[in-house]
Copies of this chain bind each other. A is one copy, B any other.
Amino acid sequence: MKLSEGTEWAIHCCSLLANLPPDFALPKSRLAEFFDLPEDYLAKFLQELSRAGLVKTSRGPGGGYQLAKPAGQINVLEIVQAVEGDQHFFQCTEIRRCGPSGVADKHYKKPCGIARTMHRAEAAWRAELAAVSLNEISQMGAEESPQEQIEKSLSWFESVM
């Protein structure tokens, strides 16, 4: 029961993209370099962000990834769902219908209390993530990063653009 690493990577990448000047695209090679991640594997998640409509891509020289919307209009839940899919954590296998006490399917009108409890908890999780925008994430990142890191990021950025 663990979120994939891709989720962390995707949020970090989106946060970085949020700090880029408008109309500037960063290719996967640069993103991978910045975080020291395997380029081809990272690309999988970037493509999922693209499919989800969170980033837009441009091919060819000078191309790469940019946010598809202002960072204030993207929330963390969207990023997580793009990478993880929208499966529920709790997938009921309807074991109440099995064994010596099970009866015909038509008698089970709605999810039982167990399923409702688990789903309510998931909804609370999603709500917390949906309440945080990418903008907030990138601002927290900017405010809390050590000064030296910000300087190194800027000089890295100068060297690639």
A→B interface (CB under 8 Å)? 1-5, 7-9, 11-12, 15, 33-37, 76, 84-85, 87, 89-93, 95-96, 98-103, 107-108, 110, 112-114, 116-118, 120-122, 124-129, 132, 136-137, 139-141, 144-146, 148-149, 152-153, 156
**Bound state CA distance, A89 and B126, in angstroms?**
13
Interface pairs (16), CB distance under 8 Å: A1-B85, A3-B90, A3-B118, A9-B95, A15-B114, A33-B99, A34-B101, A76-B114, A96-B145, A100-B153, A102-B149, A107-B148, A113-B139, A120-B128, A121-B125, A124-B127
- Residues of B with C-beta under 8 A to A102: 36, 149, 152
